Amino acid sequence: MDTEKISFHIISYAGDSFSKMREALSEAKLGNFQKADELMSSAKKTLTEAHNVHTEVITLEAQGEKSEYSVLLAHAQDTLMNAILAETIFEEFIELYKNK
């Protein structure tokens, strides 16, 4: 398992997803709800990619391919979990703006 490569994939996908969600929130704040929805949809797809890579790591370990502890992988997992949490929060804020 190339832990460094996997870590950077997770960080890249999760970071890109988070950026799209921030942009979606900004668009919602301006009342551009269609653009906000498009950005959130794109962010969710990118977040799914990050999750799929993370699932690959878990699957490999479950199959016996252990990896050593990696600060980079821990950072990648933190980035992914923050993006997942942000998705829930940003969706709620966007709904609040829509119903304003």
Binding-site residues for Mg(2+): 78
What is the spatial distance between Cα 29 and Cα 81, in angstroms, rounded to a whole number? Answer: 24
Q: Is 51 a catalytic residue?
A: no
Neighbours of 19 (CB within 10 A): 14
> How far apart are the C-alpha atoms of 9 and 18, rounded to whole Å?
14
Catalytic pick from 9, 51, 54, 75?
A: 75
**97: Cβ–Cβ under 8 A, 6 or more apart, which residues?**
28, 29, 31, 33, 36
Cite the annotated binding site by residue number: 78
Q: Which residues are catalytic?
A: 75
